[in-house]
Amino acid sequence: MKTKSKSTDLATGLKSNNSKLPFPDNKRVELMQAGAADLINWLNDQMKNGLASLPTYGSEFWETISKRMVDSKLAGLSNRIWKISNLIENEDEWEDLVLSEISELYLLSNALINLDSFSQEEQLDFLNVSGFNITKKHLENSSIISDDWKILSVRESTEAKIRSRRTWVQGMQTKFMGLLLEYAWGKQGFMIDWKAGRQFKGDLKIYPSSYPMRLMIVNYVHLETEIKTFAAYPDLESFLKSYSKAISLKPIINKFPLCLKDVQIQAKDESVFVIDKENKSLECNCEASLKWGLLAISAGHPIRLFATWDGQRLEPLSVIINNRFISLEYS
């Protein structure tokens, strides 16, 4: 089924085809549920001991519980445990951030244990974010969305010889904002050379979800045109309403995409904020060098900004100023 309809929601207004959703077998689900119960007990112990005790633990403490999650096929929860460790190590005011991560781990663990309480798409979301991978072969019956696509950001990272690439795109007609997530091993290259700020025409399959965002290329043709603008929320209130709608459908969204127009970048102490025309603000989470680069690029002028939102802070990824697209580089 192909979809090509206009939508006023910049993230998505589309539904995935759930006629044949991919699920792990019962044995794996039971293993994941047992691991989730183990994690809840561990989290309870940490809360009894108090957050103040967490910085006193060495790497072995985190490795032990992380390995137990991996053994239970819960790699996604293992990664979140390491995120807590990194927040404690790298953030001066880590307490609220860690408490938020612990809350989400509770939510995910309880959802896994009580899967039957949710719809099939919600069950798949919880299994997917916890460690069950949906592969290309699972997408045979998925819906297809056709459009001309703007490439808003391309980011690569490497972990244990596995390279990953996150490419955020926005449909010109549908305004659908989605993610192409790809992996390559070792020195192996990615199959397609995406460049931020360019465009392509293509058919993309939608990964099943209660709030679909991830996409897979079916076919494509590169276009010569460069991005001079993109559809954007008029203010932060409009964005936050859309985000609230999204998390009401899918409670765990690690990175939510957003485009904003006519915003300014301002610094306060060591932090950088995005300010809209109503003088409302959200804090940015970016490297020190990029903070000052972002301030220099904007120079106090209104810009269009593409970023992702983790529920607490924005991560700026690209801007448009005077019809010029600029991809923000992270080290």
The tens digit of pLDDT for each residue in 263-277 reads 999 988 888 999 999
Residue 173: which residues within 8 A CB-CB, separation 6 or more?
Answer: 4, 6, 147, 148
For residue 3, pLDDT over 50 is answered with: no
| pLDDT tens digits, one per residue of 221-238 | 999 999 999 999 999 999
Q: Per-residue confidence at 331, pLDDT binned at 50, 70, 90?
A: low
| pLDDT value, residue 140 | 84
Q: Alpha-carbon torsion 42, 44, 45, 49, what sign?
A: positive
Greatest mean pLDDT among 12-16, 90-94, 154-158, 167-171 lies in: 167-171
Choose among 44, 46, 28, 41: nearest CA to 115: 28
Q: What is the mean pLDDT of residues 169-188?
A: 92
SS3 of 51, please?
helix
Q: Which residue type does 201 have?
A: K
Q: Per-residue confidence at 4, pLDDT binned at 50, 70, 90?
A: very low
Q: Per-residue confidence at 16, pLDDT binned at 50, 70, 90?
A: low
Instruction: Report angle CA 294, 297, 298 to the nearest 5 degrees.
Output: 85
For residue 120, pLDDT over 50 is answered with: yes
Contact criterion met (CB below 8 Å) for 237 and 254: no
- pLDDT above 70 as % of the chain: 93
Q: What is the mean pLDDT of residues 116-127?
A: 92
Question: What are the distances in angstroms from CA 88 to CA 54, 95, 199, 255?
Answer: 8, 8, 40, 21
Contact criterion met (CB below 8 Å) for 260 and 291: no
Task: State the pTM of this model.
Answer: 0.84
| pLDDT tens digits, one per residue of 43-66 | 999 999 999 999 999 999 999 999
Q: What is the mean pLDDT of residues 135-150?
A: 90
For residue 1, pLDDT over 50 is answered with: no
Distance CA 255, CA 258 (A): 10
Distance CA 206, CA 145 (A): 7
| pLDDT tens digits, one per residue of 26-44 | 999 999 999 999 999 999 9
Distance CA 189, CA 184 (A): 6
Place of tokens 């809360």: 47
Contact criterion met (CB below 8 Å) for 102 and 87: no
| pLDDT value, residue 171 | 97
Q: What is the mean pLDDT of residues 158-179?
A: 91
Tell me which of 251 and 177 has the higher pLDDT. 177
| pLDDT tens digits, one per residue of 275-297 | 999 999 999 988 777 888 888 88
* Mean pLDDT rounded to a whole number for the chain: 90
